[in-house]
């Protein structure tokens, strides 16, 4: 038997391509005349481009955009001066309407190709494209003069692209970020260096509430507070909107941003925000949606899909600070939430009290999602509706087994990853549930991310 010939190495050759599709990470997709798939960062569907192939493998090539021969009708000029270098907004040159269509297609393609489902995303809801983020994490470096500076990582690297401001962040953040770097530079503080493992300050993490209050967190390699004596007073005097200043300790040689320990230097232990008419206190380690205006629309849809009636038991898996469950649970609905982060569980319990709920109708459990299903049954006797809002990796086999054995009539699945969503929906359909409604929400305009809400109903015997 003859061995297959190795594919021709096309590296360093030039090709002209018609871009026919895109990937969520901002790569245009085209094919050479010989049918070889080429991914070109920065190219959009409808472009005709000239690209230099900088990577050649058996299955595909990667090209660098050398010339835009004919622009897509969906292409616009970016309003961000950093868009070429920064790895954040991969779709800043795509018309908003085209971005919405692309994301809806992304969800539908995953449902069909990965899940093998007949379900289609009914619509995608969009909102403001600028200044929508209530949270930002900035890596810290030192400039040529040794002063601390911040920015964002370039695409597929840990090289910082310096920026004074970002079109996505809360407009109040740049002044706070500048104050922090100037005050700490004056203290001769050193930025953390990933290569050597030396330095103290790794990241600046800011989070804001809709009333303008800000929580500032410095991610550092040491829990010794002496280097920050008086710093919190200096910062809050210069930036009165900052209501709390924290240290987060992360001494590990890792790409993970936050450590597990937080130390309050000054101010309130919780940042208080309002969502869907409910009041929430959020600690630095608690998950909270970064786009509050669109999150309200997302949660309203999830609540409409769930439609809990008085007397029902609503189980919120991966509940974080309790936001989804507390927004959806009306009078007479019993709520049980499960979360693995202890600080978030404590937040959720406090948030239940803030919103007039008691232990008679609301419980929160710290543990694995699968354990939470049994804990809910032990507390309230049954499960009627389940919210799941897992991380990008989706549901584990153990959680799926526990979920399908729960007896719940409805499952409302909220996902930030269409691929794992489709995979999990297919698994749930094999175990007695049917996906019946689907809607997408663009909580992250200009990026490749999209949120999806799906209603599943248990199939009657």
Check if 149 is active-site. no
At which residue do the structure tokens 């920065």 appear? 42
Q: Coil, strand, or helix at residue 136? A: strand
Token pair belonging to 189: 């503080």
Q: Residue ranges of the alpha helices (H) in 87-230?
A: 96-113, 173-186
Output the CA–CA distances (angstroms, integers) from residue 307 to 251, 301, 327, 329, 352, in the order listed: 45, 10, 12, 9, 20
Q: Count CA atoms within 13 Å of residue 274 on its CB side.
A: 4
**Rounded to whole angstroms, how far apart are CA atoms 365 and 225?**
33
- Single out the catalytic residue among 89, 215, 416, 438: 416
For every residue of 327-363, DSSP letters joined together read HH--TT-EEEEEES-HHHHHHHHHHHHHTT--TTTEE
Q: What is the distance between the alpha carbons of residues 15 and 7, in angstroms, rounded to a whole number?
A: 17
Q: CA-CA distance, 171 to 165, in Å (whole number)? A: 8
Q: Token pair 């009078």 is at which residue?
A: 331
Residue with the two structure tokens 């269409």: 418
Identify the sign of the CA torsion 247, 326, 312, 459: negative
Degrees, nearest 5: CA angle 411-413-419:
135
What is the C-alpha to C-alpha distance for residues 332 and 95, in angstroms, rounded to an integer?
A: 45
Q: What residues act catalytically?
A: 416
């Amino acid at each position: 038997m003859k061995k297959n010939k190795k594919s021709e190495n096309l590296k360093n050759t030039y090709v002209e391509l018609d871009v026919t599709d895109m990937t969520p990470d901002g790569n245009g997709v085209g094919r050479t005349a010989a049918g070889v798939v080429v991914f070109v960062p920065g190219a959009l569907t409808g472009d005709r481009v000239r690209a230099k192939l900088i990577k050649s493998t058996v299955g595909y090539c990667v090209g660098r955009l050398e010339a835009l021969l004919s622009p897509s009708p969906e292409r616009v000029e970016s309003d961000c001066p950093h868009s070429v270098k920064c790895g954040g907004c991969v779709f800043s040159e795509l018309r908003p309407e085209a971005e919405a269509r692309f994301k809806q297609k992304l969800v539908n393609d995953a449902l069909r190709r990965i899940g093998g489902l007949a379900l289609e995303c009914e619509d995608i809801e969009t909102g403001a494209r600028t200044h929508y983020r209530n949270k930002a994490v900035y890596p810290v470096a030192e400039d040529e003069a040794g002063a601390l500076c911040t920015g964002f990582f370039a695409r597929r690297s840990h090289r910082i692209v310096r920026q004074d401001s970002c079109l996505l962040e809360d407009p109040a953040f740049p002044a706070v970020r500048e104050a922090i770097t100037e005050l700490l530079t004056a203290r001769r503080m050193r930025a953390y260096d990933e290569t050597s493992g030396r330095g103290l300050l790794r990241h600046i993490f800011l989070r804001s509430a809709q009333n303008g209050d800000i929580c500032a967190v410095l991610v550092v390699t040491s829990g010794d507070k002496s280097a920050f004596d008086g710093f919190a007073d200096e910062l809050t005097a210069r930036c009165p909107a900052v209501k709390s200043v924290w240290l987060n300790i992360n001494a590990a040689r890792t790409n993970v941003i936050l450590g597990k320990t937080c130390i309050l230097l000054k101010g309130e232990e919780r940042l208080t925000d309002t969502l869907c008419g409910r009041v929430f206190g959020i600690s630095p380690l608690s998950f909270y949606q970064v786009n509050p205006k669109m999150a309200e629309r997302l949660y309203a849809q999830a609540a409409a899909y769930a439609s809990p009636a008085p007397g029902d038991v609503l189980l919120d898996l991966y509940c974080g600070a309790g936001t989804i469950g507390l927004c959806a649970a009306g009078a007479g609905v019993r709520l049980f939430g499960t979360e693995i982060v202890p600080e978030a569980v404590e937040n959720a319990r406090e948030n239940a009290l803030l919103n007039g709920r008691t232990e008679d109708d609301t419980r929160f459990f710290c543990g694995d999602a699968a354990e939470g299903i049994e804990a809910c049954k032990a507390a309230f006797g049954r499960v009627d509706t389940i919210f799941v809002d897992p991380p990008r990796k989706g549901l584990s086999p153990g959680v799926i087994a526990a979920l399908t054995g729960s007896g719940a009539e409805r499952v409302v699945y909220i996902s930030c990853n269409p691929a794992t969503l489709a995979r999990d929906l297919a698994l749930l359909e094999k175990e007695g549930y049917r996906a019946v409604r689907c809607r997408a929400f663009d909580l992250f305009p200009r990026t490749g991310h999209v949120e999806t809400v799906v209603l599943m109903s248990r199939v009657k015997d």
